[in-house]
Amino acid sequence: MTSLTGSLPEYTGRRCYQPLNTLHATVYFSPEIVREMGALGIEDFAAVNIAGRTAALGRVGAGPVTAAFYNYTHERIAHHVPGVWDIAAPQDVLAARLRAADGTLRRLLGEDAVASPETAEAAELALRAAEGCGRGGRPMYSAHADLPVPEAPHLALWHAATLLREHRGDGHVMALVRAGLDPVEALLSHSATGGGMSDKWLVRTRGWTVEELEAGRERLRARGLLDGAGELTEAGKALREELEAETDRLDAAPYEHLGAAGVARLTELGSAFAKAVLMAGAFPADLLGNG
């Protein structure tokens, strides 16, 4: 099976995207983002997360944010948006987020890696891939695509990783809606693969209660997607595979634009950076899990 145009093998884009997403996501869990946002007066952990990712949309209300994020409770979003913009303007949050990315990458990768030719090469390749992204139906990507590209190569790489991450994420929401998975079911079925967040972090970051999570598991069991132990059934595994394949199809354009050689090199470089940040302890030990 091939991608949309047939020139790149299946999963090629996903393999390239995954390490770049790891690099992008470091900022969500870094002490630097807590410090930078705290200096603006945004101290609640959920507010830090929501404001940082929402700022590219501008002074938007809770409704569009809930729709774009998909897997947060509307109540959690509405508790912070638009009120957070009375604490700090979106442009100030964006600047704080970029400072946090700078500090986070310098700490996790080291100064030599940040200033390396490999970082500059990866930034160039990732930005070239992002040129192939489309705006239609992709609110999170489109908002971030309006932001200027930072001059420093390591920040340009982080910015490009953000663009590719949001482009794929917007497409994934389309696939989730088509599959008939509500926000809780989407989160829980992902966690059951071993690649999603544990219940602790779903409650802390997304706003769902323990009771709502268990009710979601019951719905998945009723559909034959989870077994009694909370593990994916064969049908559940097949659905998750179909979701990722559909997301791959919707996300093929940037990697087709970059071309096979560029994708292979970006995957190599991105994987080295991802390994480095993981080895440096970029994420909480209990972040991932089923239950």
Q: Is the dihedral of CA 201, 199, 274, 270 positive or negative?
A: negative
Which pLDDT does position 2 carry in this prediction? 32
pLDDT band for 266, please (50, 70, 90 cuts). Answer: very high
Please tell me the distance from the alpha carbon of residue 202 to that of residue 205, in angstroms, as a whole number.
5
pLDDT of 216-261, one tens digit each? 999 999 999 999 999 999 999 999 999 999 999 999 999 999 999 9
Taking alpha carbons only, the member of 199, 195, 186 closest to residue 226 is 186
pLDDT of 99-146, one tens digit each? 999 999 999 999 999 999 999 999 999 999 999 999 999 999 999 999
Which pLDDT does position 6 carry in this prediction? 42
Please tell me the distance from the alpha carbon of residue 139 to that of residue 66, in angstroms, as a whole number.
12
Which pLDDT does position 4 carry in this prediction? 33
Q: Is the pLDDT of residue 290 over 80?
A: no
Here the contacts of 232-238 (C-beta below 8 Å, separation 24 or greater) are 232/189, 232/192, 232/193, 236/189, 236/192, 237/193
Q: Provide mean pLDDT across the span 36-65.
A: 96
Across the chain, mean pLDDT equals: 94
Q: Provide mean pLDDT across the span 49-62.
A: 96
Which residues partner with 2 through β-bridges? 9
Worst-scoring range by mean pLDDT, 6-20, 25-39, 138-152? 6-20
pLDDT of 189-221, one tens digit each? 999 999 899 999 999 999 999 999 999 999 999
Q: How many alpha carbons lie under 13 Å from residue 67 in its C-beta half-sphere?
A: 9
Q: Provide mean pLDDT across the span 141-166.
A: 98
User: Cβ of 144: how many Cβ atoms within 10 Å?
Assistant: 23
Q: Is the pLDDT of residue 11 over 70?
A: no
